[in-house]
Amino acid sequence: MSTAGITENLQYAYWVPNVSGGLVTSNVEQRTDWGIDYNVKLARHAEEVGFDYALSQVRYLGSYGANSQHESVSFSLALLAATERLKVIAAVHPGFWQPAVLANLAATASEIHGGRFALNVVSGWLRDEYVKFGEPWLAHQDRYERSAEFLQVLRKILTEENVEFAGDHYRIRDYTASPRPAVVPELFQGGTSTAARRNGGLYSDWYFTNGASPEVIGEQIAEVRSHAESAGREVKIGLNGFVILEDTEKEAKERLREIVAGANTEAVEAFRSSVKEAGAATGDGKGMWAESSFEDLIQYNDGFKTGLIGTREQIEERIDAYRKVGVDLILTGFLHFDQELQRFGREIIGHDAGRAEPARERLLVSGAR
């Protein structure tokens, strides 16, 4: 089966600011609050203006200037309770969760919240988190092999009876969860390395990747989907992007210059040092942040690289370029979250919905699927 083709119905997500410090490591003003009250209001507004997903960050230590953080799973459940349509993805670390326990939690959350709970499995890049928790810090390849087993165990327990699994990291013996969820929680997996691409294609419903150009993303998508095709399955692609939407290109570029000029140099350099365990630790140099400049790291998932910076028309053109290489979801971040998320919803998501039918007709005429 082929998973290639132009994305017809693009979806949109936003980063939940459940970690202090905002989405850029800069001393520029960020009118964003990491508390629950602000985030409940933000989730409701996101739902109103057309966002499909929200992704709660996972962090247990202060890093890149973010000194405080709320735990991702419990925070996600609170946002689900406050909304009706929005799907909420909780990021989790293998090594800190036992996958069978997490599968049972996810099954219950799915039943309570109408199938809107999802998990994002992140293999970990911050060594100090594991050291402080007394957990072993594995080499890059080993971390992704553990994640591969973690994803397999989650899916088996969520979908099968009498589960047996014997891996290097996890073992399950004749276990059946009851009840299993009517709607199986979607499994996301993040990364850019060769190992991440393999896991994304073979075991995940969604592959999340850092920001990059359409050409670079297209190459990643081809590799991920080749793994999926080899296993007779399909996978969707999510792309991170930091949004600066202004009335003029000049205003948008000036906002970016202000963010970069206000960079917290000490925090960015500390982040750069920490993430050497990610990109630079891979054998082929394809890991996250392997080719990120100082400016790129100010938005800690390479969000500037995606180029969602400019007028509505410019951002729509850029989004269309990603749609053409097969991106299924844009994961957005903002400086002043509530204000700018709502504007993006009204001007980009709302306008995109109005363009969906003509776009679908163009695809059919061109023969793309």
Q: Which amino acid is at 280?
A: A
Burial profile 110-124: b = 16 or more Cβ within 10 angstroms, e = fewer: beebebbbbbbbbbb
Residue 355's pLDDT is what? 58
CA distance 330 to 58: 19
- What is the pLDDT at residue 333? 98
In degrees rounded to 5, what are phi and psi of residue 90? -100, 125
Residues of the chain with pLDDT under 70: 1-5, 64-65, 276-290, 354-369
Collapsing DSSP states into helix, strand and coil, what is residue 3? coil
Report the C-alpha gap between 312 and 304 in whole angstroms. Answer: 16
Give 90's strand partners: 56, 119
Measured between alpha carbons, how far is residue 322 from residues 147, 252, 308 in Å?
27, 20, 11
Tokens found for residue 82: 């406050």
CA 345 to chain centre: 18
| CA gap 313, 192 in Å, rounded | 29
182-195 pLDDT tens trace:
999 999 999 899 99
pLDDT at 345: 98
Torsion of CA 257, 261, 68, 35, to 10 degrees: -40
Show the CA angle centred on residue 48, arms to residues 355 and 360, nearest 5°.
20
d(CA 277, CA 72): 23
Q: Is the pTM of this model over 0.85?
A: yes
Alpha helix locations (H) across the chain?
36-48, 72-81, 99-112, 127-132, 140-159, 194-203, 214-230, 249-261, 265-274, 294-298, 312-325, 337-344, 350-366
Residue type, 48: E
Strands 117-121 and 163-166: unpaired
Amino acid at residue number 55: L
SS3 category, 262: coil
- Per DSSP, 6 falls in state -
Tokens of 264: 């917290």
- DSSP secondary structure string, 182-249? SSPPPEEEE--SHHHHHHHHHH-SEEEE----HHHHHHHHHHHHHHHHHTT---EEEEEEE-EE-SSH
**What is the pLDDT, as a whole number, of residue 21?**
92
Residue 262 burial by Cβ neighbours in a 10 Å radius (0-12, 13-18, 19+): middle
